[in-house]
Amino acid sequence: MTLTAVFSCKDNSPEKIPIRDFFKTPEKTFYKISPDGKYVSYLKAYKSKQNLFIQSLADGKGFMATNFSDNSVNDYFWTYNNQIIFSQDVVATDSLKMFVMDMRTLRKRTIIAEHKVKFRLLNRSRATPDVITVSMNKRDEGVLDIYRLNINTGALTLYIQNPGDVTEWFPDENGKIKLARASDGVNATILYRKDDFSKFKPIIINNFKDAVKPVAFTGKGELFYALSNVNRDKMALVEIDALTGKQTRTIYQSDKADVMNVEYYKTKHRLDYLSWDEAKPQKKFFNDSLRLVYNRLSSELKGNEIRVVDRDTAENKFIVLAYSDHNPGSYFLYDKLSGQLKKLGDINSSLNAASLCDMKPIAYKASDGLLINGYLTLPQGKKQTNLPLVVMPHSGPWARSTWGYNADVQFLANRGYAVLQVNFRGSSGYGKAFQSAGYKQVGGKIQQDITDGVKWLIAQNIANGQKVAIYGSGFGGFSALYGVSFNPDLYKCAVVQNGLINFFTFIKDTPPFFKPYLKMTYEMVGNPETDAEQLRAISPVFHTDKIKVPLMIFQGAKDPRANITELNQFVLELRKKNVPVSYFLKDNERGYFKSEANRLEMYTEIEKFLSSNLGVRH
């Protein structure tokens, strides 16, 4: 079977889907269930902002719990005494606001209003439902301390003061913290203490290339589960004795990919399942009851990946998310006792699955022989060869593209473009050796892997070598600029969102809370002092003379990793050299444009830009 036949879609080209249908604010998302199983909650658009809605399962009646028109609700959770805590990221003032609402009175009050503060929920306790354990950088912008937050009084009590190098804390089911992970940037240390009155002591020390990521205590003695790739290439689930730091057994490992996530029910000390990504998502179950739930749901929701996103305390009612490459996601309520599966809502009901295209796993050999994986999405229609191509490098050198619905990919495929996503060397999930192969190659072999993928598609006669664009955000934006700088004959244009243009300022302007990872960045990317020549050679800001093709640049003015003054100068220099640059700088936006109006404008401009430069009519 030829490659072209494998990727064939339908015979007739689908009609053009409106941009808004791809990029509007999600209709209903982030469903949760109250611990007592009486209510479901979700976020829904109101005046283009996400707001909190609640529905009673007893009578089906619902109501809008918030009516913000300025800033969306961006996160929320239930406590064990039927209160809801929700938060807003106020981009204009770089502030965090948190509120609590009691279901008995429906009254709302502010419990946190802080400037430049990062917040993370670590634990909710059934024993003390009014008190939650949180991490915040309130005392020092650069470190996360641990606090007890009383949601009735708003009192914030310091529980553990961070010595400065702890990057993660691991609470038990009661919120007590006995494990922590510290880093000096090169070495990572796992710390343990037997109780609140003891000092933390190091039990495991590894170089950053080896990883030990605690999950939770097993409930048997001082044993804990962890993900580890020590003495192996792929990340595995293991059991470790906290008293000695020694691994006692391997629970599960895959020879194909890193185990990435573990679903562990802390209050019952129960391991439910773990998951990883090969070409498509994979799961391994340890809980027979939950396996039966997944099997039942998979048979009812054929063609979709299934994920239980929440459940009540009794584990009788489950909130289920079903998604695929053709489906942004649909939420269901599953009642295990009755066996009833009821649809709750769609993230985006405007899209017709039949009009979307298959995201197909691919693999090819890089020029040095390394096997590179990725995904290829081809437009529907008879024509499956000599297609205009848009290359989409992912946004972080150590991240990865995964199988599933991607609005950008489907938007571009609907407009007639083939879309290539490359999991170049360094990408996560493929093991230690593959990730290490990307170290200090951000402007070297990583970029060559992308180039090799484009040339492979051209050689296969899938892509038209005269109609290739590159499009990315963050590190993907750097890859786009690098591509048009050093492969000027390969790309006709580039689209960049909040792109990295200068490794020197990117590293120098590292946010305070990221400082513990600086030395690791030096090892993985480069040291501005000892590797200055290398970093200068690849940073786009120093190579405006090499860029000849049209650029389109989008940037949020509140992006904490961006140097706006430098970016403005970069655009000015390009224009002085007669490079066609369309530049959109948006106030009160970070890297991702939260404003629906800004998103719709952005993709409208992208559509016109690609059509003009690749000669594709829509």
Sign of the alpha-carbon torsion through 77, 79, 84, 90: negative
pTM of the model: 0.94
Name the E strands within 91-194: 95-102, 108-115, 119-124, 131-136, 145-150, 156-160, 166-171, 177-183, 187-192
Count helices and strands in the chain by DSSP H and E runs: 12, 35
The b/e string for 345-376 (b: 16+ C-beta within 10 A; e otherwise) is: bbbbeebeeebbbbbbebebebeeebebbbbb
The per-residue pLDDT for 12 is 57
The b/e string for 88-113 (b: 16+ C-beta within 10 A; e otherwise) is: bbebeeebbbbbbbbbeeeeeeebbe
Name the E strands within 474-601: 493-497, 551-556, 581-586
Question: Beta-carbon neighbour count of residue 289 at 10 Å?
Answer: 11
Regions of the chain with pLDDT less than 70: 1-13, 513, 618
Q: What is the dihedral of CA 135, 136, 139, 144, to 10 degrees?
A: 60
Encoded tokens for 21: 């249908």
Distance CA(145)–CA(161), nearest Å, equals 5
Question: Please, which residues bridge with residue 345 across strands?
Answer: 331
Sign of the alpha-carbon torsion through 549, 552, 556, 559: negative
Task: Let me know: does 372 contact 366? Beta carbons within 8 Å.
Answer: yes
Contacts of 5 (CB under 8 A, 6+ apart): none
The per-residue pLDDT for 273 is 97
The per-residue pLDDT for 616 is 87
Q: What is the dihedral of CA 347, 350, 356, 359, to 10 degrees?
A: -10
The per-residue pLDDT for 10 is 45
Using left for φ > 0, alpha for ψ between -120 and 50, and beta otherwise, residue 528 falls in alpha
